[in-house]
Amino acid sequence: MEVKKLDSWFQVKVSDAQKNQTIESYLKNEWQFPKKLLHELRMAKGCKVNGEIKPWNMILLPDDQVEILLFNEEDYGVTPQNQSIEICYEDDHLLIVNKPFGVDTHPNEKGQLNTLANGVAYHFQENGLKIKVRHIHRLDKDTTGGVVFAKHALSSSILDSMLSQRKIKRTYTAIVEGNVKSLKGTINEPIGRDRHHPTRRRVSPKGDKAITHYTKKKYISKSNITILECQLDTGRTHQIRVHLSFLGHPLIGDVLYGGKRKLLNRQGLHASNVQLIHPFTKEELSINIPFPTDIQQILNEKR
């Protein structure tokens, strides 16, 4: 779908394959507008055809120019704060940022500063955008790597749905203690709260379903560590950390789950790639997220 940004509006040409739909059907089928946002768009008179407001039961023809109001001015939702953020991908619809170590994805209490979301708000502000900061998923404070943000409400709705349907594929690079024998494996063990510790999770028969797939990439005998790539079918809190500890190979530096602080002063986990079909352009995106220096040094070690 080829779109052209016109200030707060997006313009798109109706293709031959999209003809003979009403405006309302077109917005539902081609743009995936959910019911609530569709109602808001109707109330805002946020759809034009060939430059004019038309009844929503009008039938669209090939080459009709449809304009859709996607960007409304909004409060950022967090305080913009000048900080360095590493942008790995950005267009009019979404943003992927490399979250550093020791930074929360978003404020956990009103007025909190020094989170990734504060830096994203400042980035929007500096680029003349007054839009809400919408993260699609989170990373633990001490996990580094790619975090996806939506740049308008429709993008947020679609990306949220894609995430729940596992259509956003995130690959994590994990550095674990010991030599993982299997080249590939799946850990299918439910995860629940540890009633003896306020933040820790554990494998529990009464917990929520949790599935982690892993692939062995490299064993470094000198340090007795294994490099794994992990992908998740579910998104439980601390899932990779809990599952790899259950496997007997905790993340290096992850003292909460049995790791020792030998090579890192934090857990050896990085969200290293994000893959998705772009919800609007339908382009296949595969965005590699650069490793922080300390993890990269470990990955460069010889076997």
**Tokens 């839009």 belong to which residue?**
131
Which two three-digit tokens encode residue 92? 């009019």
In this structure, how many other beta carbons lie within 10 angstroms of the beta carbon of residue 209? 11
Question: Exposed (0-12), middle (13-18) or buried (19+): which is 197, by Cβ within 10 Å?
Answer: exposed
Three-class SS state of 185: strand
The total number of residues written for the chain in this structure = 303
Among residues 75, 92, 104, 140, the one annotated as catalytic is: 140
63 is catalytic: no
The H-or-E segment that residue 73 falls in is none
CA atoms within 13 A on the CB side of 240: 26
Give the helix ranges, DSSP H, for the chain: 23-31, 35-43, 116-126, 153-164, 239-246, 293-299
* Residues with catalytic function: 140
